[in-house]
Every structure is written in C-alpha cells, then in structure tokens.
Amino acid sequence: MFSASEIQSVKQRFGIIGSSPLLSHAISVAMQAAPTEMTVLITGESGSGKESFSKIIHSISPRKHGKFIAINCGAIPEGTIDSELFGHEKGSFTGAHEARKGYFEVTDGGSIFLDEIGEMPLGTQARLLRVLENGEFIKVGSSKVQKTNVRVIAATNVNLIKAVEKGKFREDLYYRLNTVPIYVPPLRERGEDIVLLFRKFTSDFSEKYSVKPISLDEDAKKLLMRFPFPGNIRQLKNIAEQISLLEQEKEIDAATLAKYLPTDQTRLPAISGYNGSSPDNSDFSEREILYKVLFDMKKDMNELKKLVLESYQSGGLNSTIINKHQELFEDMDSTVSFDEKPRQETTSSNLPLVIDPKKNNESSEDYSDDYDDENIEDIIHEEDDNSLSLEKKEKEMIIKALRKHNNKRKYAASDLGISERTLYRKIKQYDID
C-alpha cells in the first residue's frame, strides 16, 4: 500500500482535492495498477471525475512517454465508430476518399481511454475484444490483420452487469475489461470534500471575475454537505460560479445558498442511490415518455370535464347523465350543484357546444360502451321541434366568434368558453374556412 504522503503527492499533481477515505482508496488502486499492463475498468456516476483516474494511470506507467487519447464512445455515431477506432481503407464506404488510421493504430505504444464503454455497439465490442486478447485489429474495408500494443482503460456510468443480462454488452468483454476495477465515489459520499471543492472553485472564480472570494457560514456548510448533488462535481462547480458572479454580499448564509440549490429533486426521471453503476438510461427515457403521456391525458380529461360542466350549466346536457357520474367531477375546483335543473332557455349568445357521439369519431366508441341508442338521444335537448339543429347553431356561433375576433382562434375560443384545441377540432369537423 502507498503512504498518505504518496497519495497526497498524486492528488496535488493531478489537481484532485479531498481527503475522503473512498477517494484515497480509489487513487491507491490506480497507483497500484499503473505500473502493470492490466486493463482497468473505472466505474462511477457522471461528473464524478473518472477521466482524472485514467490520466493518473497513464502518467505514472511505463507508457507515460507514449500517446494518450481519451474517447467518448457514446459521442461517436454507430456507423463511424469502427472507422474511428480501427481506421479504414480508401473506398471502403461512401465518403472514404482516402485511407485513415484509427486510434488504436495511432496510439501504438501508449494508452487509450474509452469513456462510456457501455454505449459501444455490439459489433465494435467484438473488435475490441480481439484487440485486448491478441493485440490484433482489421481496418474497415481491409482483410489485412494489423498489430498494436495499446493499453486500454475503460470507464462507464452504467451497470454493465445489467447490460450483459439484457444482451446490450458482451459478457466476455466485461470480464476482460474488469481486470482491475476502480470505483470513483460520488460527491455526496465524500463528506467535507464538498466544502473544500466549493472553496477551491469560488477562489478560482473570484480571480476570473475579479471579485471578492465567497465564504460560507457554518449553517451554509451543513446545507451544502446535505445536498445530494446528482450532477456531482460538475454541478458543484456550476453553483460556485453562479454565487461568485451574482452575489454582492460575499458572506453566504444558508438562506442565500438555498436559492442556488435546486429544490425539485423529484424530477422525472429521478436517480436515487448509486451502487457502483448508474441505472440504464433507456429505462429512464421510456419512463419519462410514459409520465408525459399520462400527464397529457389528465390535462385532456380535465378539459373534457369542463366542457361537459359548461354544457350542463347552459342546459346543453340532460341532468341525469351528470348525476349518474358525479364522481368524475369531484376533483374539479369549482363547486357545482347537480340537483338543480338546467336552464331551459338557450339563446344564440350562450348556446353550448355539445359533443354528439354519433358525429364525433373520436368519442363515439367510448359512449357506445356505456349507453344504448335510446340513452344517447336523451343527451341532446330537443324541446323545440321547430328550432334549428344544435350542430347548425354551433357552427353559426363558431363563425360569428371567428369573425368577431378577425379569425384569431385564441380569442374566439375564449369568447365561446372552450379551449383553443377544441375550437380547432370543431373548425375541422364543420369544414369552416
């Protein structure tokens, strides 16, 4: 094992701040692995400083005089990543006007850092495995086997074991990469390192912006250490820069600091906890889309409820329908008495917009599940046999409203007491120019 002074020397050399035991252990493992030729897999959350460990390993290894290249596998399109890593021959694909050397050929004798290795396509993973086992690769569009002597240092913020179970990552490649595992702790697990890093960042920004350095009182320090920092060091640095630039008073208390700490920690998707790797990002995106769909459905349902209530209050719907389904309106803000009889008089100025399930394809199927034809007919008022149809009156009212507001749908919809979305649908239904 290395002494505390040796670890501290490495921290100073690479600008790593903190005395957390987890951080010191990770640095110690990196120092032990550096002189060897073993492949290293660095795991940790995004923004926790994984790339710094790859530089430590290369810089104190026998390859320190060779080239070092850091590559973000998630940032390279799937169609070009093979060419980027292994090179290609002239004419091997559209746009390949000349032969090109890949990173594994360029860094021969050095080290290559493959960040976000979990995002690498399966086909490229097979090529990488061959490099790790035999030191061989083939350029895109070539049949010639070439040799390279490159040390691979990989990093990921996803759980590769789960990726293997889902078939998104090769099991043999995972065990080949994970020869020496290094876990970089997230910021929230580093205790007082948070305050030390904040002080360093605010000091740097005070010089950059020529302002007085920020200082925190004890309550502010405690608040800072309690914050989970899902964005880790990047997020802390961003907050330090905001406070340094925007606050005139440089003695910061907890109340002032709280203004710069996001309070919405339940945003979707939300990351809770970390066990050496982060959850699958694809699961998050699918869940986020699902929540958005549900919220949109709830919004549409509320609009429909308002329309039905307005129609009922204006005498456009039979009261028996409302009374039968009062539970649908329990979560609405306005209180409505369902026992009172709807007004019998309807004039052209307050004629309600009535959804006719026989004419509206979007809702006819839902109505048919609950009511038969006889019940549906009860929904529509037909007290005056000589009056014009409600649809015709409705169309006339829409045309009048549009003319009144110079065809501005927003104001016309407000005047009619309906949403702009409903008005747009009605315009299409009645083929109004």
Q: In terms of pLDDT, which residue wins out, 177 or 400? A: 177
User: pLDDT per residue over 15-37, tens digit each?
Assistant: 999 999 999 999 999 999 999 99
| pLDDT over 60 (residue 108) | yes
As a whole number, the mean pLDDT across the chain is: 80
Q: How far apart are CA 113 and CA 322, in angstroms?
A: 66
pLDDT at 33: 95
pLDDT at 314: 66
AA identity, residue 114? L
User: pLDDT per residue over 316-367, tens digit each?
Assistant: 655 565 565 565 555 554 444 544 444 444 444 444 444 444 444 444 444 4
Helices (H), 248-350: 254-258, 281-313, 319-324
pLDDT at 37: 93
pTM of whole model > 0.95? no
Q: How far apart are CA 120 and CA 68, in angstroms?
A: 20
Dihedrals phi, psi of 278, to nearest 5 degrees: -90, 160
pLDDT at 349: 41
pLDDT at 319: 59
Compute the average pLDDT of residues 82-109: 90
Contact 103, 154 (CB under 8 A): no
Q: How confident is the model at residue 86 (pLDDT cuts 50, 70, 90)?
A: very high
| pLDDT over 80 (residue 155) | yes
Q: How confident is the model at residue 395 (pLDDT cuts 50, 70, 90)?
A: confident
The DSSP bridge partners found for residue 151 are: 111
pLDDT at 432: 85
Provide the 3-class DSSP secondary structure of residue 68: strand
Angle (CA) 64-65-71 rounded to 5° is 65
User: pLDDT per residue over 401-418, tens digit each?
Assistant: 888 888 888 888 888 888
- Indicate if the alpha-carbon torsion angle 203, 204, 210, 214 is positive or negative: negative
Burial (0-12, 13-18, 19+ Cβ within 10 Å), 335 = exposed
Which residue has 């690479």 as its token pair?
14
pLDDT at 169: 96
CA count, 13 A, side-chain hemisphere, 53? 33
pLDDT at 312: 65
Q: Which two tokens stand for residue 44?
A: 């940790």
pLDDT at 384: 45
Sorted by where each starts, the structural domains of the chain and their CATH numbers stand as 4-185 (3.40.50.300), 189-258 (1.10.8.60), 284-429 (no CATH)
User: pLDDT per residue over 225-280, tens digit each?
Assistant: 999 999 999 999 999 999 999 998 889 999 999 999 987 554 333 333 334 434 44
The DSSP bridge partners found for residue 136 are: 147
Report the percentage of the chain scoring pLDDT > 90: 54
User: pLDDT per residue over 271-309, tens digit each?
Assistant: 333 344 344 444 444 555 665 666 667 777 777 777 777
| H/E stretch holding 133 | helix 122-134
Provide the 3-class DSSP secondary structure of residue 72: strand
Compute the average pLDDT of residues 107-131: 95
Q: In terms of pLDDT, which residue wins out, 290 or 40? A: 40
User: pLDDT per residue over 61-78, tens digit each?
Assistant: 999 999 999 999 999 998
Q: How far apart are CA 119 and CA 121, in angstroms?
A: 6
